Structure 1
Amino acid sequence: MAEKSSIFDMIGPVMIGPSSSHTAGVVRIASAAIRILGSLPTHATITFYNSFARTYEGHGSDRAIVAGLLGYATDDKRIRDAFDHAKEAGLQYTFQSVGNASTMHPNTIKVQLRDERTGHATEVIGQSRGGGVIRIVEVDGFPADFSASLHTLIVDADDRQGSIAFIASVIAHDDCNIATMFVSRKGRNDVARQFIEMDSGIKPITLDYLRQLSWVHQIIYIPTID
């Protein structure tokens, strides 16, 4: 009797290829960055590190990052013509590459964004981990650790006793379960940045309440990025 064979397929993101690491993950890093900026940028400086520095042109990562900065999803057919669409949208961008950053993940990208219409700017460093999975590891010089696959809250607040517990309590009263929390600060009693991943979305009224606290400087909310 012959043995029954089985085939196991890896299920990845619905995307425009050729590679989930070099396209889907790259689009998602850009998607996270524009949500942190709060708008689509007018100017972008994009730095590819290590393996990305050697392959970003051949594997389409350059088009993918530009497409993400335009707000396109991973399966948007416009990714293939992202450069043309960027020109139409007035997005100015520059590519840089660093091939020997030994302390960084092989597939690392830094995006420095500016929106001249609002005056806002941000710098985000992300890693493409494969299968469309990403990690954001730095935001505006603050170490970070979130995937953008969950609802994410970024809170800048005074580094004061009880602040973390208080914000966690407010989120809990909104029936949001905290999946992960990463807190970063540049110095004692300086501004601390909290990166909070939640299993569900947070209500606008809760965000408004947190924003009006005198010791909270900034709130950024990033819904789940597909």
Structure 2
Amino acid sequence: MGFISVFDVIGPNMVGPSSSHTAGAASIALLARKMIGGNIKKVVFTLYGSFAKTYRGHGTDRALLGGILGFDTDNLNIKDSFELAKEAGIEYEFKTNEKETEVHPNTVDIELWNDEDLSLTVRGESRGGGKVMITRINEVEVEFTGEYSALITIHKDKPGVVANITKCLSDCNVNIAFMRLFREDKGATAYSIVESDEKIPKKVLDEIKENQYVQNVMLVQI
């Protein structure tokens, strides 16, 4: 049995009522916002399982919008996120999917568009106590928790690309805590996710982008 701390039971500092349905939802949306960057113009949320059934009563909708606005789980502005999203010019929509049942009960798909005409789709799961897992990026199955700073590189599955990523990080004295590669298929699009227990310098992004097989690099600072 894994170790469970008192903080896992109590949950994080948050705007209630539920660590799973509000704090977790806000954390997932905040990670999605950090991943795409820029100013968010439009967002569509698709909710599954208990999220779909109870999102209005538990304030999941407000928490998700709060995360998109950049609010942490304990930000009291979450309660006013509908109004603040409208003031920020963010178009938003909530959908439910109760037909797909082979998912974690607290799952949300977030499709985002920013002012640079970039789009991104992220699937997240709220796993209790405010803990979350990002499980899909643009239809590719991935895994990262958002508990560490993360560098996410989208690239062709070609020899030498991962080695180049680690070299760029080493040159900038970044200590790698975890690194995993996810891909659609051999030779297709791949996602390299590097997590570090320290902030990752932004200059790493430019160095990694110089590789001809790299399509995009996203930085999530914690």
| TM-score, normalised with respect to structure 2 | 0.90
Which of 170, 173, 180 is the equivalent residue of 1:172? Answer: 170
**Which residue in 1 is equivalent to 2:213?**
215
Distance 2:168 2:101 in 1: 40
CA deviation after TM superposition for structure 1 residue 100, in Å: 4.0
Identity %: 36
Query: What count of residue pairs does the alignment treat as equivalent?
Result: 216
CA deviation after TM superposition for structure 1 residue 11, in Å: 4.1
Q: Is the 8 A contact 2:15 2:76 kept in 1?
A: yes
Distance 1:136 1:129 in 2: 11
Q: In structure 2, what residue type is equivalent to 1:67? A: G
Distance 2:102 2:87 in 1: 37
Q: Is the 8 A contact 2:168 2:207 kept in 1?
A: no
1:75-94 mapped onto 2 (5 Å cutoff): 75-94=74-93
CA deviation after TM superposition for structure 1 residue 110, in Å: 0.5
1:47-58 mapped onto 2 (5 Å cutoff): 47-58=46-57
Distance 1:203 1:87 in 2: 33
**Which residue in 2 is equivalent to 1:34?**
33
Q: In structure 1, what residue type is equivalent to 2:175? A: N
- Which moves more between the two structures, 72-81 or 207-216? 207-216
**Which residue in 1 is equivalent to 2:102?**
103
Which of 120, 125, 128 is the equivalent residue of 2:126? Answer: 128
Matched, 1:161 2:159: yes
Bigger radius of gyration: 1
SS in 1 for 2:56: coil
CA deviation after TM superposition for structure 1 residue 203, in Å: 2.0
SS in 2 for 1:145: strand
Residues 67-120 of structure 1 show CA distances to partners (whole Å, capped at 9, x for unaligned) of 1111112111111111111121121111111224222111000111112x3111
**Which residue in 1 is equivalent to 2:136?**
138
Distance 2:108 2:39 in 1: 18
Distance 2:38 2:64 in 1: 15
Q: Is the 8 A contact 2:20 2:130 kept in 1?
A: yes
Q: RMSD of the alignment, in Å?
A: 1.7
SS in 2 for 1:124: strand
Q: In structure 2, what residue type is equivalent to 1:131? A: G
SS in 2 for 1:42: strand
Distance 1:209 1:51 in 2: 43
1:9-20 mapped onto 2 (5 Å cutoff): 10-20=9-19
1:177-216 mapped onto 2 (5 Å cutoff): 177-216=175-214
Q: Is the 8 A contact 1:40 1:70 kept in 2?
A: no
CA deviation after TM superposition for structure 1 residue 158, in Å: 2.4
Residues 165-187 of structure 1 show CA distances to partners (whole Å, capped at 9, x for unaligned) of 33223323433232222322223
SS in 2 for 1:178: coil
Q: Is the 8 A contact 2:164 2:208 kept in 1?
A: no
Structure 1 unaligned blocks of 5 or more? 1-7
Residues 104-147 of structure 1 show CA distances to partners (whole Å, capped at 9, x for unaligned) of 111000111112x3111111100001111110000111111001
